[in-house]
Amino acid sequence: MGHGAYALTRVAVVVRAPAGWLWWPGLLAAGIGVLVPGLTGRTAGLAAGAALCVGAAPVVCLARRGRYTALARDASRAGKAVILQDRAVTLRVWRRAHRWWLLCAFLAAVGSSCVLPAAGGLLMAGAALGLWGKALWLGRWERQHEALLWVRTDCVGKGGAAGKEVREYALTGTAAGDARPGGARRGGARRGGARAGGPRSGGVRAGGARAGR
């Protein structure tokens, strides 16, 4: 993974970061769409939306699975100098970087109700379900191998946790960080800690207590 101090973020947290911001706005857009008759009518719109939701979930869940598997298979142990980024920081960074895309997606979903009521919102919800499913799949891998998957924070900006800039993953023990296998928040975990890369970028040293197995 290189030498010197650098920040790592959980792969599963990056994967599931968009889910909540697609699920709730998607349901809201679908609810607004139900109030709009649309060109095709509510029944046709809801039927199309349900089909899109059911279809999007497995497509998103299975996308790039081979890439994730290959990176996980070749992952190496994280060095003691790395800094583990908090789950809340990862979510905040993702939200700030994609807030305008999320707004455009929501407006597009609402606007599409003029043709197919609720369909766009249900498509967003289906994509969210797929991301949660992918995070659960990663969580099963982490529990099976008793290790957590991490990726460098400077590699996930464009392509996500399995983008072209990601060359390898790092491994820590299951006690590291403040998120459980699969990326959900760890119960009773403390937020914040040593800073990584500037203000408001919390984390803990990988070589500290309870960071490894």
Token representation of residue 67: 């890439």
Residues 117-173 pLDDT 10s: 999 999 999 999 999 999 999 999 999 999 999 999 999 988 899 999 999 999 999
Buried b / exposed e over 5-24, threshold 16 CB at 10 Å, is: ebbbbbbbbbbbbbbebbbe
CA distance 10 to 164: 17
DSSP structure class, residue 211: S
How far, in Å, CA of 166 to CA of 151, rounded?
7
pLDDT at 198: 36
The total number of residues written for the chain in this structure: 213
User: What confidence score (pLDDT) does residue 79 get?
Assistant: 85
pTM score, whole prediction: 0.85
Q: Given a cut of 90, is residue 85 above it in pLDDT?
A: yes
pLDDT at 208: 43
pLDDT band at residue 4 using 50, 70 and 90 as cut-offs: low
